[in-house]
Each structure stands twice: as structure tokens, then as C-alpha cells.
Amino acid sequence: MVKLEFVGLRAIAVASLIAFLAGCSDGATGPGSNDPFDVQQSNQDFGAVQAAFDANVDVADDMSFVMPVLENLGPPARLLDRVKIPSEPVVLGMARTARMTMGSASLVLPLLPGDVLGVTFEWSDLESAYVPTARTGAPTNGLRVIVYDRTVTPFDEVGFVDVTDESDPAADRLHVHMEKDGLTRLDYTVALTQSTSSASAAISGFITDGLQRVDFEVSESAEQTASGATIEVGYSLSLAGQPLSVSFTSTVNIGEFITAGLTTTFVNGANTLVLDMSQDAAGTLDGTVTWNGDVVMTITGSGEAEPIFLGPEGEELTVAEAQAIAEMFELTEEGLFFLLANLAFLGSGLA
């Protein structure tokens, strides 16, 4: 019997890609579809999403380099630490997120200190750090950090990151905008609402290398309940100009026991692949994968045991299918979660 290592939320989300293999090998027609399905072509199609992310590795590197500027602004500027978008590789790891999120009430303070508004930060070779300067051009409701090509000495200026406070009575909002080599590479807004018993965060924007653009939305809400807490997490990724998208929703109920449910949907043109999975208080996993509405795979598991993936009639996967599954895990592991890992410009707040 073929088993796959269970590595939590990432594995569950990526596992839904397996349905492209079930009953579809060797150019077979997928259930509920009149279109012949090709495993290699599917890898190439969703590989385009990863390729779009890989083309922006420099953006992640640049954001990591400017991070100390934002970390040093103090607690108000790092308000998002209070709502952590989980990148934990285990569903139950969100329990810790809930407890941290519920640990504080609303904080009504400016997101950015007044003394940095309109200020541009530039790199100082003398101090080996970013320092505030008298340079003009920074937004009046935020700050600007200059971006450099750090492969040369001295550093060569290539762009900037603007962080602006766009809060309103409804929510605290930070807008992040990166321009590099005359091109907008990253643009997104983070919105946060809080009360004494609930909190929510939403991120919406895009990242691009100038050729491929990935649009994204990420959200999390947490609410304290009589028995514990409920966390809802969602995200969506789509490749602009192409019929490829991925969406994910998950709900975790935390009390004396912990239960969880999630749905992951992959859309490729007219074809839709959906993974539904639940985890009960005993840790038992139960799930199905559908291809255009028809069940093509079942997923079961219990406790620490590795989940078992079977065909719709209970048949085992072939060695070739298992190998293709492993390749799909590798294909999507970095791409789908690149975003969550690299929106952490406010320190640990979003990572």
C-alpha cells in the first residue's frame, strides 16, 4: 500500500494535485471531463505558478534586507504581530496561533511613529545599517526605504519600498509598494481589525517580475468562544492572464478538543479539482478529492500514522503515480507558500 508522509497543511493542500493523476494517466480522460488529461502537461501548467514565484526571489531577498528598518520602529508599527498568518506545517499548530492572537485587546495607536513620516532611509556603509536621511520623496503618510543591488561595492541604488499608513475608522491598514529598476514588483495592503475577543487580518495585492503577475489574497480571523477559539484562514493565488488559480479555506475549532476542516480548489481552465478534508477530535483524517465533481481519490488517516491515498474504488496507487505525486509536492511546496513566507516584512508578524 502506498503511503505519503503527512507534513500538515502544506501537504494537504498540495495533495489535492494528486487527483490529476487518479484515473488520468497516459492521456486518459478525467472523470466528469471530455478533455484528455496529461500528467506531464499538468505539471507544466501548475509549474507556471511556481515559475512566476521563482522569478521574484530577488523581491523576497530585498524585503528581508529592509526588514530591520521596520522592526526598529517599535510595537505600533508591528501591530500585526498580534494576528499571525500561520505558516505552521501542522494543522494543530494553529492552536498556538489562536492563544497568541487572543492574548491582547485592541490597540488604538498609529501604525507608524510620527517621526518617520515623510522620512527616507538609506544605507550607511559607515554604520552598516539603514539610517534616516534628509532626502525628499518619501510619502507624507509613511516612509521610504531605498533598495540596492548588493552584489556590487558600493551598493547600487535600484529602487525603493514605500510603507504607508492608510488606516480608517473601519480598520488599521498598511500599504506596501516596491519599485525596482523602474518597475512595480510588489504591491499589497494589509488590513487589521481587533476587539477584546476577535481579530482579523487580510492581505491583498500582487507580485510580478514584469512578465508574469501573481495576484494574491490572504486572510485570517480568530474569535474567542465560550469553549476556546475558532480560527478561519483563507488564501487565493492566480496567474494573471492564464486560467490557473488556487484557493484554500480552513476552519479550526479549539476547545477541550481540536477539530479542523479545509477545502483546497485548483482551477485549470474548464477543469476544477477540489480537496475536502476534516480532522476530528481524535485526530482522524477523512477526505475526498474530486475532479469536475466526481470522486477520484479518498484520503484516510489516524493519529500520527501517515495518511493513505486510494483510488475511488479503494485501489492502490501505482509506483509511477506515487513518484509523480512526490514530484508535485516538490513542484508546489515553495511556490504556493512563497507568499506567506515572504510577506514577513514586519518581523515575525506574518510568518
Chain segment 129-178, per-residue pLDDT in tens: 999 999 999 999 999 999 999 999 999 999 999 999 998 888 888 899 99
- pLDDT of 13 > 60? The answer is no
Query: With the CA atoms of 151, 154, 155 and 157 taken in that order, what torsion angle do they form, in degrees rounded to the nearest 10?
Result: -130
Query: Could you tell me if 179 and 187 are in contact, meaning their C-beta atoms sit under 8 angstroms apart?
Result: no
Q: Please indicate, yes or no, if residue 31 is contained in any of the structural domains.
A: yes
Domain of residue 221: give its range: 9-343
Query: Could you tell me if 35 and 29 are in contact, meaning their C-beta atoms sit under 8 angstroms apart?
Result: yes
Q: Please indicate, yes or no, if residue 2 is contained in any of the structural domains.
A: no
Query: Could you tell me if 239 and 212 are in contact, meaning their C-beta atoms sit under 8 angstroms apart?
Result: yes
What is the pLDDT at residue 6?
Answer: 32
What is the pLDDT at residue 317?
Answer: 66
Give the rounded distance of the alpha carbon of 146 from its chain centre.
26
**Which residue in the block uniquely carries the three cell numbers 511546496?**
333
**What number is the average pLDDT over the span 45-66?**
79
**With 0-12 CB in 10 A as exposed, 13-18 as middle and 19+ as buried, what is 110?**
middle
C-alpha cell at 318: 501505482
Q: Please indicate, yes or no, if residue 4 is contained in any of the structural domains.
A: no
Q: What share of the chain is helix, strand, coil (3-state, %, to 5)?
A: 25, 40, 35
Query: Could you tell me if 309 and 15 are in contact, meaning their C-beta atoms sit under 8 angstroms apart?
Result: yes
Q: How far apart are CA 289 and CA 17, in angstroms?
A: 9
Q: Please indicate, yes or no, if residue 1 is contained in any of the structural domains.
A: no
Q: Which of 254 and 186 is assigned the larger pLDDT?
A: 186
Indicate the average pLDDT of the chain. 72
Q: Please indicate, yes or no, if residue 265 is contained in any of the structural domains.
A: yes
Q: Please indicate, yes or no, if residue 179 is contained in any of the structural domains.
A: yes
- pLDDT of 120 > 50? The answer is yes
Residue of 89, 13, 54, 90 whose CA lies nearest to 338: 54
Q: Which of 200 and 40 is assigned the larger pLDDT?
A: 200
How many residues in total does the chain contain? 351
Q: Please indicate, yes or no, if residue 351 is contained in any of the structural domains.
A: no
**What number is the average pLDDT over the span 212-228?**
85
Total number of domains in the chain: 1
Q: Please indicate, yes or no, if residue 349 is contained in any of the structural domains.
A: no
